[in-house]
Structure 1
Amino acid sequence: MSVAVSQSSNSPSDPVVRTEAGRVRGSREGSLAVFRGIPFAEPPVGARRFAAPRAVRGWDGERDALAFGPPPPQAGFFGMDGPAWDAEGHDWLTANVWSPDPGPGAGLPVMVWIQGGAYVIGMSGLPEYDGGRLAREGGVVLVTFNYRVGIEGFAHIEGAPANRGLLDQVAALEWVRDNIRAFGGDPDRVTVFGQSAGGGSVAALMAMGRARGLFHRAVAQSVPGTFFSPDLASDAAAACASELGLKPTTADLSSVDPVRLSGAGDVLTAKLAQRVGSWGKAAHRQIPFAPVVDGDVLPVTPWQALADGAGRDIELVAGHTRDEHRLFGLIDGTLGQVSEEQASAALQMYAPGPDGPRRYREAFPSADPNELYELVHGDWLFRMPSLHLADAQIAGGGRAHVYELNWPAPGMGGALRACHGLDVPLVFGNLDAGQAAGLIGDGPSPEAETLSARMRAAWTAFAAHGDPGWPAYDSTQRLTQLFDAQLAVTPYPEEPSRLLWEDHVFPALSLVRRPGHE
């Protein structure tokens, strides 16, 4: 079935590409052809609410691809409200393409970005994700896209497939496989890259049979170690539905307005402190949703999958920032304000093993409460999951490169240092767009521009031929690229933390004990 698309006034110089679903007309932005808001799947609303994504229907004529599609529902984040979403429509699942040379014969490397947002927020249309500079200077076809987040994408709902957000990502990659040649890309040279929840998504995709063959290289930036077991995920969905007096089933939830449902998720998040007794670390960190190790869509955790060889044929770059937790400390008001009692509680909650708190203090004898608090949070949430992903890849017979971003950003008076998220503007080269200005400061310095150019060159070189410019990681030398004002390759720099976590397995987070038995 095809649908007609009305035409608007266009310029003869506008680029037009024929996709499998129909022709799309983009815009010419300098040397690039840019296409925004191309649907890669049918809107997941109505009868398709909470269903796996379905390929988009074809259309007649030319479809304008000039504006980003509407973001998936995420309650009040980014100043959006229900009427705004209704006005923009329900085409949540759309892709955007920046190409230096649209045409089936160009054969350029393809980079597909998966944005983060704790699996509850995120949209591809944010200015920090503009792909223009990376595509133009790196000679790659750059793709970004939206996927369902929060309850729509990750709640474990009876009657619905698990991990719908991950299934959306697979559908986007299938769209890339089937269409990217027409935009100048090589479907046999696809690199996925993502940060935070996007990095966790990259790790999950490496473990998923449904994604096999859809990409050939992967960059996992600041991978969170938070994956849920079915029991925890089911309890989270039930708790969310109960905020509306409903059951966590498709029959009950499919008629609830998406924004109202996302709002219920926000209410649940605000109450998570009450659930530490049953949810443990997930409640303590206010994490209501994450990919579910359901045994089907996601058979096992990424670390187990890679150790078993699932990523053997995928080249991997994995890494993190040095000061991952400082951004969260600023957000929650703990930055520089941690008491000895708070530090002790954090060590008790997150340090690995029964003697973890003691070992942390011995490994960092001069660390004050603030440093210990930041270290154990950063290690548990991002640094060690990222490192262990590389270790698992090597154990499974694959190849990995490891990096750490050490550059102390000058934004916020230098308080955030090399914090979580700093790598995003540096990799995209959007140093004064969106949230980047707060991290990097007003008017990017020459030092920031130089570092950004080096990171962009490493990422695009890896996408082009699998070599980011530094040696592969192994279990003996552990060579790591340090990104700072001066580049260096050294043994992994966070050795005390590595040794503390060496024998830890990152399992799916489960219920500590059943609700009602606190």
Structure 2
Amino acid sequence: MRSVSFVTAALAIPLAASHCHPPKWTVGQTVNTTSGPVDGHTASVASKVSEYLGIPYAQPPVGSLRFQPPVRYNGTQHLDGKNFGFSCIPSNLTAFDAEYPQELIEEYGITDVGLELIRSINNPGIPVSEDCLTLNIWTKPQTGENRKAVMVWLHGGTFISGSSAVPDYNGQFFADQEDIVLVTINYRVSFLGFPGNPHGPRNLGLLDQRLAVEWVRDNIAGFGGDPSRITLFGESAGGASVDHHTHAFASDPIIAAAIPMSGTVTGIRPRPAADAAHIWYNTTSALACGDALTPPAQVLTCMQSLPAQQIHATLRNVVDSPIPMPYSPTIDETLVFSSPETHPVANIPLLIGNTDNESGLFRVFVPPLFPPGNAAQEEEFWRVDSQAKFSCPAADRAARNVCEGLPTWRYRWHGVFPNTELGTRPPSGAYHYSEVATLFGTLEGGNTREQERVGRWMRGAWAAFARDPVRGLERYGKGNGTGKGKGKGWPRFEEGGETLARIGFEGREVSFVKGDFYDAGC
């Protein structure tokens, strides 16, 4: 069992060093980085927040760099920081990306809010390109700590879509309300990010994420951030990515803490290498670049020479469900492991959890699985599906961190609000992804008072963890300057103790139940 003293000692120095006094900060001032000097600007709503968009952290992965690990970007030219970079090229998430069927709208009682969410799930209107490896920063160094904790967000999208330009992920409200620097990144997705080539690197998207974290470590001090206090957080595929980092880079994580939300390496399971290779060769054959009998170098050269849109046209839909997925992390025993439960994990604190009704999102992409009159059987199927892919893996990952002697917290999201309601037959409840916009404070209207309070509480908790991953949550809400009341704090996770935080339950910010309260069947 590992001692937590290592983590405590590691955090003691940066917390003390954070009170050094940097030069006076001007909103939007130019910051020198390894990518070149970056001009900022005032965020669109939070007028005291400096926003820097579209900063390249890697060279464009095109031509001979396609299907290769990312190469660090170094530049000297001015970057204007005004616009998000291109999003990475996705593939279709479902068979209904073009138009959601009217029969399913009626079947599931899809609301106007829900239909808008479904139609936006593949990021329509966001420009895409292979030249997409950029990141964005929101910061407010003129107040609070002079060297702030940093939170780096990995978007979801089932590893086949997603973008840091999605409005839900805009970091200005997080940076404005909490004493942190917020970073979002793009990484390669779909076939270009997870190609499955048996003779080359298979997990390019994960390598992109790692290089972005390295860029943050090397440059974030210029934006008022503390490079020794980086928390990696993400949801769905982003949550699984966070968990992959704790395994893949266990001996050198760079990050000081991790928050996997609704995603783990055992719940969103990686592809076997043979399955990935099968998809690689199906694609190369369809594009007349050869098959498993063709010299691998010849296949690769051909694939690197094709227009990206020609490759995109051959990609498969995910017709049934985002899990399992045709393009996703692939077992290579270097970054992604066949037995992650026995592989070392990073010696860092963990905040982990999931929503109360994960499958409330996934089920609306398929017709009912059972004949009419079998509603109970349908409900049981989806309940078990949520438990097997999200709740139980989160429980196992939390329990492992506790066994390693590492500070661990666990939550369950229960927030159900009018402007996040997906469907009514049956009620969608707290479905997969339903917490994200509330966490970021980016919903565009119609928030209830309860929803505003829950969002504020959740942002404050995530930021408290980032500022001090060892003690921050235990102190959160105890009247120690957080401004969140006189609560008892959030105790570390124990299966038998009242330590599992129910966020948004019955409209309240938080309540606690036993750690294994939702683990029946695990």
TM-score by length of 1: 0.77
Partner Cα distance (1:417, 1:161) in 2:
40
Give the aligned partner of residue 374 of structure 1.
382
Give the aligned partner of residue 210 of structure 2.
170
Give the aligned partner of residue 433 of structure 2.
421
Unaligned runs of 5+ in 1: 1-11, 274-282, 344-366, 433-441, 502-518
Give the aligned partner of residue 483 of structure 1.
503
Give the aligned partner of residue 34 of structure 2.
20
1:404-450 per-position Cα deviation (integer Å, ceiling 9, x unaligned)? 01122332465211000012112111122xxxxxxxxx611111111
Comparing both structures, which one devotes a greater share of its residues to helix?
1
Give the aligned partner of residue 404 of structure 1.
412
Asked whether the equivalents of residues 222 and 382 of structure 1 are also in contact (C-alpha less than 8 Å), the reply is: yes
Partner Cα distance (1:284, 1:134) in 2:
28
Equivalent residue for 1:69, pick from 68, 85, 92: 85
The aligned runs of 1:156-235 (5 Å cut-off) are 156-209=196-249, 212-223=252-263, 224-235=267-278
Unaligned runs of 5+ in 2: 1-25, 93-121, 293-298, 477-489
Q: CA deviation at 1:21?
A: 3.0
Asked whether the equivalents of residues 187 and 209 of structure 2 are also in contact (C-alpha less than 8 Å), the reply is: yes
Is 1:324 the counterpart of 2:358? The answer is yes
Equivalent residue for 1:458, pick from 431, 456, 461: 461
Partner Cα distance (1:211, 1:15) in 2:
36
After superposing the two structures, state which structure 1 stretch, 215-224 or 403-412, moved more: 403-412
Give the aligned partner of residue 430 of structure 1.
442
Q: CA deviation at 1:80?
A: 5.8
Give the aligned partner of residue 139 of structure 1.
179
1:216-274 per-position Cα deviation (integer Å, ceiling 9, x unaligned)? 1111100143212212222232233344344374233222222332332235x45xx8x
Give the aligned partner of residue 364 of structure 1.
none
1:124-178 per-position Cα deviation (integer Å, ceiling 9, x unaligned)? 0010000000011011100001000011111211442121000000000000000
Is 1:297 the counterpart of 2:335? The answer is yes
1:189 partner SS: strand
Give the aligned partner of residue 473 of structure 1.
493
Which residue identity is paired with 1:68? Answer: F
Q: CA deviation at 1:373?
A: 1.4
Q: CA deviation at 1:456?
A: 0.7
Which residue identity is paired with 1:471? Answer: P
1:351-384 per-position Cα deviation (integer Å, ceiling 9, x unaligned)? xxxxxxxxxxxxxxxx921320111111122222
1:18 partner SS: coil
Partner Cα distance (1:316, 1:286) in 2:
25
Asked whether the equivalents of residues 206 and 212 of structure 1 are also in contact (C-alpha less than 8 Å), the reply is: no
Give the aligned partner of residue 10 of structure 2.
none
Asked whether the equivalents of residues 320 and 383 of structure 1 are also in contact (C-alpha less than 8 Å), the reply is: yes
Which residue identity is paired with 2:169? Answer: Y
Judged with a 3 Å threshold, the aligned counterparts in structure 2 of structure 1 residues 216 and 284 are, in CA distance, closer, same or farther, namely closer
Which residue identity is paired with 2:272? Answer: S
1:3-42 per-position Cα deviation (integer Å, ceiling 9, x unaligned)? xxxxxxxxx9741000123211011221011100000010
RMSD: 2.6
Which residue identity is paired with 1:314? Answer: I
Partner Cα distance (1:378, 1:448) in 2:
24
Q: CA deviation at 1:338?
A: 4.0
Asked whether the equivalents of residues 36 and 74 of structure 2 are also in contact (C-alpha less than 8 Å), the reply is: no
Which residue identity is paired with 2:41? Answer: S
The aligned runs of 1:295-374 (5 Å cut-off) are 295-305=333-343, 308=344, 310-311=345-346, 313-334=347-368, 338-339=370-371, 368-374=376-382
Asked whether the equivalents of residues 322 and 362 of structure 2 are also in contact (C-alpha less than 8 Å), the reply is: no
Asked whether the equivalents of residues 409 and 416 of structure 1 are also in contact (C-alpha less than 8 Å), the reply is: no
Q: CA deviation at 1:211?
A: 7.7
Which residue identity is paired with 2:82? Answer: L
1:155 partner SS: coil
Give the aligned partner of residue 265 of structure 1.
315
2:314 partner SS: helix
Asked whether the equivalents of residues 27 and 49 of structure 2 are also in contact (C-alpha less than 8 Å), the reply is: no
The aligned runs of 1:84-163 (5 Å cut-off) are 85=128, 90-101=130-141, 106-163=146-203
Asked whether the equivalents of residues 350 and 408 of structure 2 are also in contact (C-alpha less than 8 Å), the reply is: yes
1:30-69 per-position Cα deviation (integer Å, ceiling 9, x unaligned)? 1011100000010000111111111103223x22111000
TM-score by length of 2: 0.77
Q: CA deviation at 1:479?
A: 2.2
Q: CA deviation at 1:333?
A: 3.6
Give the aligned partner of residue 253 of structure 1.
303
1:461-506 per-position Cα deviation (integer Å, ceiling 9, x unaligned)? 11111233411112443720001212211113654xx2422xxxxx
Give the aligned partner of residue 395 of structure 2.
387
Give the aligned partner of residue 500 of structure 1.
521
Which residue identity is paired with 2:123? Answer: F
Which residue identity is paired with 2:231? Answer: T
How high is the sequence identity, in percent, across the aligned residues?
28
Asked whether the equivalents of residues 75 and 260 of structure 1 are also in contact (C-alpha less than 8 Å), the reply is: no
1:320 partner SS: strand
Which residue identity is paired with 1:26? Answer: G
1:422 partner SS: coil
Give the aligned partner of residue 68 of structure 2.
51
Asked whether the equivalents of residues 75 and 259 of structure 1 are also in contact (C-alpha less than 8 Å), the reply is: no
Partner Cα distance (2:390, 2:191) in 1:
23
Asked whether the equivalents of residues 322 and 405 of structure 1 are also in contact (C-alpha less than 8 Å), the reply is: yes
